[in-house]
């Protein structure tokens, strides 16, 4: 019994991550540790319990029957630990610890967070911030962050338990360079897009679509699209490639980068009458009994800057 009292929260966290992900390596990546360190924590726990928690094979790691029962009790302990931390943070009125944020494009950070980051840090100097990028479809079960920033509505559809706040509601335009239009012609209707090229986005399904509203002045929940030849498909750099005359792109016309390129006439709007009337982007965060103070102050601060975006 005295051994059970010596359980460390970090050991239970390591065990829970391995159980959830089914892999020591995946758990190590998630927790920012080495697989050896995670394995050692689990082995120490098994020694204390005098029971095996996992069945290890060359292909997978699964819980033993005892491990499944222990997992249920561990969840309760970890939930109580999180609740205690939330309460302490709220009582102190301080944003402390580390806040992990992920977005799907660096441009969204540049537009909505980075210009005001120094101001935020002066107000909450004890809060450490980590900004990450995932250039593919986000899966909350695999990608563990506090805030998912600037993500389309699919994340809420896929994980309805998440809380969300609207960040951006914009037209979704179509653009090309003058060089491209000189070579391929300027389409006046969607039917005239045949023979045109799009700079494909690898994580679209399919990856050679150009989003467009085929019926102008009609709002739709599900956007239309056309399939075009996509000699180049990438996860980033669409704007830069469009500037080189490589193809048409979709982009938000009210982003600062696009606005400037339009002023400089480096990009030309195409088929404006057929642009999507609404492209919504959200922030998402986990639905917990007690919202963490650090998450609340981060969201409140940066949403207060929306008039400056």
pLDDT digits (tens, 9 = 90+) for 11-64: 998 999 899 888 898 888 888 889 999 999 999 999 889 999 999 877 778 999
Topology of domain 94-168+281-308 in CATH is D-Maltodextrin-Binding Protein; domain 2 (3.40.190)
The answer to whether 97 and 279 are in contact (CB under 8 A) is: no
Whether residue 4 is predicted with pLDDT greater than 50 in this model: the reply is no
pLDDT classification of 84: cutoffs 50, 70, 90: confident
pLDDT digits (tens, 9 = 90+) for 184-214: 999 999 999 999 999 998 877 789 999 999 8
Q: What is the pLDDT of residue 275?
A: 92
The first and second tokens of residue 291, run together, are: 């919202």
Instruction: Show the 3-state SS of the chain.
Output: CHHHHCCCHHHHHHHHHHHHHCCHHHHHHHHCCCHHHHHHHHHHHHHHHCCCCEEECCCCEEECHHHHHHHHHHHHHHHHHHHHHHHHHHHHCCCCEEEEEEECCHHHHHHHCHHHHHHHHHHCCCEEEEEEECCCCCCCCCCCCCEEEEEECHHHHHCCCCEEEEEEEEEEEEEECHHHHHHHCCCCCHHHHCCCEECEECCCCCCCEEEECCCCCCCCCCCEEEECECCCEECCCHHHHHHCCCCEEEECCCCHHHHHHHHCCCCEECCHHHCEEEEEEEEEECCCCCCCHHHHHHHHHHHCCHHHC
The domain locations on the chain are 2-91, 94-168+281-308, 170-278
pLDDT classification of 1: cutoffs 50, 70, 90: very low
pLDDT classification of 280: cutoffs 50, 70, 90: confident
CATH number of 2-91: 1.10.10.10
Its CATH class, for the domain covering 170-278, is alpha beta
pLDDT classification of 245: cutoffs 50, 70, 90: very high
CA distance 12 to 145: 19
Contacting residues for 107 by C-beta, under 8 A, at least 6 apart = 255, 257
**Whole-number average pLDDT of the chain:** 87
Q: What is the pLDDT of residue 92?
A: 62
Asked whether this chain's domains 2-91 and 94-168+281-308 adopt the same fold, the reply is no
pLDDT digits (tens, 9 = 90+) for 101-123: 999 888 889 889 999 999 999 99
pLDDT digits (tens, 9 = 90+) for 112-161: 999 999 999 999 998 999 999 987 778 888 888 999 998 888 888 888 99
Handedness of CA 214, 216, 218, 220 (dihedral sign): positive
CA distance 101 to 82: 19
Strands 233-234 and 200-201: parallel
């Amino acid at each position: 019994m005295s051994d059970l009292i010596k359980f460390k929260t970090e050991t239970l966290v390591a065990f829970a991550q391995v159980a959830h992900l089914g892999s020591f390596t995946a758990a190590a990546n998630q927790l920012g540790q080495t697989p050896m360190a995670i394995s050692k924590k689990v082995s120490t726990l098994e020694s204390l319990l005098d029971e095996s928690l996992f069945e290890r094979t060359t292909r997978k790691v699964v819980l033993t029957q005892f491990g499944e029962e222990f997992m249920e009790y561990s969840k309760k302990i970890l939930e109580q630990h999180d609740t205690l931390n939330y309460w302490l943070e709220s009582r102190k009125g301080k944003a402390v610890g580390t806040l992990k944020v992920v977005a799907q494009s660096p441009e969204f950070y540049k537009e909505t967070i980075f210009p005001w980051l120094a101001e935020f840090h002066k107000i909450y100097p004890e809060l450490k911030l980590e900004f990450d990028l995932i250039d593919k479809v986000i899966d909350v079960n695999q990608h563990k962050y506090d805030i998912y920033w600037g993500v389309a509505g699919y994340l809420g559809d896929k994980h309805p338990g998440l809380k969300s706040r609207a960040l951006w509601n914009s037209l979704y335009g179509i653009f090309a360079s003058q060089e491209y239009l000189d070579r391929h012609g300027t389409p006046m209707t969607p039917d005239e897009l045949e023979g045109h090229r799009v700079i494909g986005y690898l994580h679209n399904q399919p990856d050679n679509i150009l989003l467009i509203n085929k019926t102008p002045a009609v709002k739709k929940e599900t956007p239309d699209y056309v399939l075009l030849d996509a000699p180049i498909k990438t996860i980033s750099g669409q704007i830069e490639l469009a500037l080189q005359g490589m193809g048409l792109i979709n982009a938000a016309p009210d982003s600062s980068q696009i606005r400037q390129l339009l002023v400089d006439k480096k990009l030309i709007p195409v088929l404006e009458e057929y642009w999507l009337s609404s492209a919504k982007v959200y922030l998402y965060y986990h639905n917990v009994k007690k919202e963490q103070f650090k998450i609340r102050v981060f969201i409140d601060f940066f949403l207060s800057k929306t008039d400056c975006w």
